[in-house]
Amino acid sequence: MQGANEYMSPNELQHESNFNGTIFIKSSKGCSPLERDKISYIRPASQSELVDAIKRLNELNRTPQKIVTVGAFSSFEFPQLNLVGQGDDQPDYPRKINSKYLVIDMSGMNKILHLDKISLTVTVEAGITYWELANQLRVKGLAVANLSAYPEVTVGGGSGTGTHGSGYAFHGKNQADQFISMEVVNARGEVQRIVDPRLFTHLGVLGVVTSITMRCIPMFYLKQTCYEFPDLDTFDNLRIGAFRELADNEDFYSTMMRIDLVDKRHHPLKCYIRRVATDANDHEYQPTFLGAPLVKNEDGEEPFVFTGPYYDVLPDHTTASRKKIPEPGTYHQAEYFVDNRLASEAVHAFLSEADKDHSFIEALPTGLKCRFVSSDDQWMSPTAKIDGVALYLAFQLSLYGSRAEIDSILKRIEQCFSDRKIEFSCHWGKLCRQGHATVNGKFKDRAKAMNVARIQLDPDNAFLDVGSELAKLFVS
């Protein structure tokens, strides 16, 4: 493991990329971390190492102009950065982080710092992934209440983009809703503690998040059932009645729907329901749900019906990317949120557009995934509680194709919503066609408040690129 004063070689840097291989960190030959206008890369093993490295740069009067933090590199976009090479249509064309940045890799800070089984709190380094955290807590008989479908994201990074869990109940809120405090380090090497929960969706602009204190709960098991409905007519019954009834049950955890795009006449859907199980041996599954039969598991396929530790049940086992790693640059993610009161209209608008040709089927081979997400009070959460919205429907899109092909699909989706005056927001760190500043423009008042806090925590303006989508939103 490399410390803060050990720097990656240029050859190593060329292999650092995001999840789908479309954003690369590249280094010019012979660059040094102390050269102001060249890319630099450090991987601290602790907060103190990070502080020492930054202070050393300051003492030498070589403080980097800009700093960007990476963790598991799960983001498909970096809204706080203005990436060079953006807009190229070749699927394997890498966009680069501009060379003026100091890149801080948090993957070396991945430990549990403190665990209190009495108060049920845990303090972790920001580079730990939810998967690592869940497995380490399990040994202590504990768990995190909210885990996303992609547990490979880091605790610090996931909160930065407003990553959420899935579910109609409490567990469907923004993951950072379970945070108590965060510690950040600014460009001067100063450590600051953030306790205002409105700032926990930090967007990477408040400083380097180094540690997080969060709530945990006793270890639990989940059982998943899946029911197949023959057509889309059931959607409103599920959305309006069934899930609200489920949410009143103490054992209900979350739900997801997957709508088929191939059968354009009926659009059959699968409904996944996760309930809290009594233990690992709880295999009592309701044989029908609203008249739909339980889907049976088939050999060679990911199971539809099973019981296990919550961190084994919640990951999205049916996503094609988990079965076969796609070629670099050909797998993308986008996610849109609409007020649940407009959910039916939005789903029908989406399917009406998808039915026009086969391009949606090719780009979305696993269909349209829909989840319910409870609103929250964080300023920059894409599912913030504004305009009376208590519950959002999330359109989760796992997209395959070149960036140009995906942009075409996203443009059509955003246009079909706009044509019907369906207001929507998008997930930070995932793709959108119009740009995050435009799509999330309804958060501009909150962005102004966030910007005030940002300036206080980062007086050197080291964590925000002036030409980025976030900067556009902050000054709008």
Whether 20 has a pLDDT exceeding 80, the answer reads: no
Reduce the DSSP state of residue 160 to 3 states and report it: helix
**CA–CA separation, 114 vs 148, rounded Å?**
23
Whether residue 304 lies inside any domain: the answer is yes
Contacts of 340 (CB under 8 A, 6+ apart): 239, 372, 389, 390, 391, 392, 393
**CA–CA separation, 26 vs 13, rounded Å?**
6
Whether residue 235 lies inside any domain: the answer is yes
Phi/psi-derived region of residue 431, left when phi > 0, alpha when psi is between -120 and 50, beta in every other case: beta
Q: Which phi and psi (to 5°) does residue 271 adopt? A: -115, 120
Per-residue pLDDT tens over the stretch 165-181:
765 555 568 889 999 99
Per-residue pLDDT tens over the stretch 411-427:
999 999 999 999 999 99
Q: The tokens 């800070």 sit on which residue?
A: 109
Whether residue 453 lies inside any domain: the answer is no
Reduce the DSSP state of residue 280 to 3 states and report it: coil
431 plus 367 within the same structural domain: yes
Q: Which of 17, 18, 8 is nearest to 39 (CA)?
A: 8
308 plus 391 within the same structural domain: yes
**10: pLDDT confidence band, cut at 50, 70 and 90?**
very low
Model-level pTM? 0.91
Boundary of a domain, candidates 73, 107, 141: 107
141 plus 41 within the same structural domain: no
Whether residue 145 lies inside any domain: the answer is yes
246 plus 186 within the same structural domain: no
Whether residue 310 lies inside any domain: the answer is yes
Per-residue pLDDT tens over the stretch 266-283:
999 999 999 999 999 999
Q: What is the CATH number of the domain that holds 156?
A: 3.30.465.10
Per-residue pLDDT tens over the stretch 96-120:
766 678 889 999 999 999 999 999 9
Whether residue 428 lies inside any domain: the answer is yes
Boundary of a domain, candidates 107, 142, 170: 107
| Total number of domains in the chain | 3
Mean pLDDT in residue range 30-49 = 71
Mean pLDDT in residue range 341-347 = 95
125 plus 257 within the same structural domain: no
Res 393: pLDDT: 92
Res 83: pLDDT: 77
The residues pairing with 40 across neighbouring beta strands, listed in sequence order, are 102
Whether 317 has a pLDDT exceeding 80, the answer reads: no
Which is more confidently placed, 35 or 338? 338
**CA–CA separation, 141 vs 218, rounded Å?**
6
Q: Which of 219, 232, 226, 325 is nearest to 270 (CA)?
A: 226
**CA–CA separation, 375 vs 353, rounded Å?**
27
261 plus 409 within the same structural domain: yes
Residue 24 carries which DSSP code?
Answer: E
248 plus 187 within the same structural domain: no
**246: pLDDT confidence band, cut at 50, 70 and 90?**
confident
Reduce the DSSP state of residue 41 to 3 states and report it: strand
85 plus 126 within the same structural domain: no
Whether 386 has a pLDDT exceeding 80, the answer reads: yes
Whether residue 444 lies inside any domain: the answer is no
Mean pLDDT in residue range 424-450 = 94
> Do 64 and 36 form a contact (C-beta atoms < 8 A)?
yes
25 plus 117 within the same structural domain: no
Res 169: pLDDT: 54
Whether 58 has a pLDDT exceeding 60, the answer reads: yes
66 plus 127 within the same structural domain: no
231 plus 346 within the same structural domain: yes
Res 229: pLDDT: 94
Q: Calculate the average pLDDT of the chain.
A: 86
Whether 89 has a pLDDT exceeding 70, the answer reads: no
Q: What is the CATH number of the domain that holds 383?
A: 3.30.70.2520
The range of the structural domain enclosing residue 210 comes to 110-218+458-475
Count the Cβ atoms, other than its own, within 10 Å of residue 55: 14
**61: pLDDT confidence band, cut at 50, 70 and 90?**
confident
Whether residue 446 lies inside any domain: the answer is no
Take residue 17 and report the two structure tokens written for it: 């990329």
23 plus 151 within the same structural domain: no
Strand order across the beta sheet in which 66-70 lies: 40-42, 101-105, 66-70
Contacts of 59 (CB under 8 A, 6+ apart): none
**457: pLDDT confidence band, cut at 50, 70 and 90?**
very high
User: Residue 100: enclosing H or E segment and its boundaries?
Assistant: none
